[in-house]
Amino acid sequence: MRFSWPLWILALWAFLALFGGWLGLSPNEIHLPKILHGPGLHTWLGYDDLGRPLWDRLVAGARTSFLVAVVVVMLSLLAGTLIGAVSAYAGGWWDHLVVRVIDIFLAFPGILLAIALAGLLGPGINNVIIALSVVGWVGFARLSRAQVLSIKHREHVAAAHALGTRPYMIIFRHILPLIMAPLIVEATFAVAGAVISEAGLSFLGLGVQPPAASWGSMIRDGAHYLLVAPHMVLVPGVMLMLVVLAVNLLGDRLRDWLDVRGR
């Protein structure tokens, strides 16, 4: 399996997010003489409208997007997989109830529902994580339910049931290991969605608040100076595009690699 440059992009993103605080950067330090200065030999990526270094703020924004993406995907994966698996295995009225709830969530565009929740909860990174997690579990629940329905009548599951194995043990030991491959692929695409959603909420002012940095808020601030200082939009915009593109390409290649029939 060859991942080439997408893996390097994601490795750089993770490195900046995890170890950026040890690089001695000052994302909130203001240099008045360098307001709106573009990239140069000694200025790296330039400065914003307040004279803050864009490289430092780009690294701080990487930490924000990485934190939100990882936490949201983990919470959504755990909650959605558990709900979908239990629903499919139990069946009956519980399964019908879960299906109706999933249909209700799918009736609304996910980003609009996240905007509404973030608006109700108020701005802040914690509320962004809650809003995106409330929206994100649906895809994992639908996928895990479909996978469990396709394998819950297999011989090894029937044998475990006949031997008196408790239902939760059957789910965790005999079913979940068999459905993790498609869920992992779904998680990679969910990371890209979480990054985009966090940037969108921050662009609207519902994400992290100043002076904290986010790629979305950096693009919003730079939109006012697009004609005189385009680097304020290009720097976070290109980084956001590269990360999302790398995650999607990695997910595609991971899906092809896990597809035994395709190989």
**pLDDT per position as a tens digit, 29-61:** 888 888 888 887 777 888 998 889 999 999 999
Looking at residue 3, its pLDDT comes to 56
Is 71 domain-assigned? yes
Is 1 domain-assigned? no
| Nearest alpha-carbon partner for 211 in 63, 68, 50, 67 | 50
Is 113 domain-assigned? yes
Is 208 domain-assigned? yes
Looking at residue 112, its pLDDT comes to 84
| Nearest alpha-carbon partner for 216 in 244, 195, 190 | 195
Looking at residue 108, which CATH number applies to its domain? 1.10.3720.10
Looking at residue 260, its pLDDT comes to 56
Looking at residue 62, its pLDDT comes to 93
3-state helix, strand, coil in the chain (%, to 5): 75, 0, 25
- Asked if residue 55 lies in contact with residue 44, where contact means CB atoms within 8 angstroms, the answer is yes
| Nearest alpha-carbon partner for 72 in 192, 181, 172 | 192
Looking at residue 40, its pLDDT comes to 79
Is 8 domain-assigned? no
Domain count, the chain: 1
Q: How far apart are CA 121 and CA 112, in angstroms?
A: 14
Is 77 domain-assigned? yes
Is 39 domain-assigned? no
**pLDDT per position as a tens digit, 184-227:** 889 999 999 999 999 999 998 888 888 888 999 999 999 989 88
Domain that holds residue 139: 55-258
Find the helix packing angle between 54-90 and 231-258, rounded to 10°.
Answer: 30
Is 24 domain-assigned? no
Phi and psi angles of residue 47, each rounded to the nearest 5 degrees, phi first: -130, 160
Q: Which segments of the chain have a pLDDT < 50?
A: 1
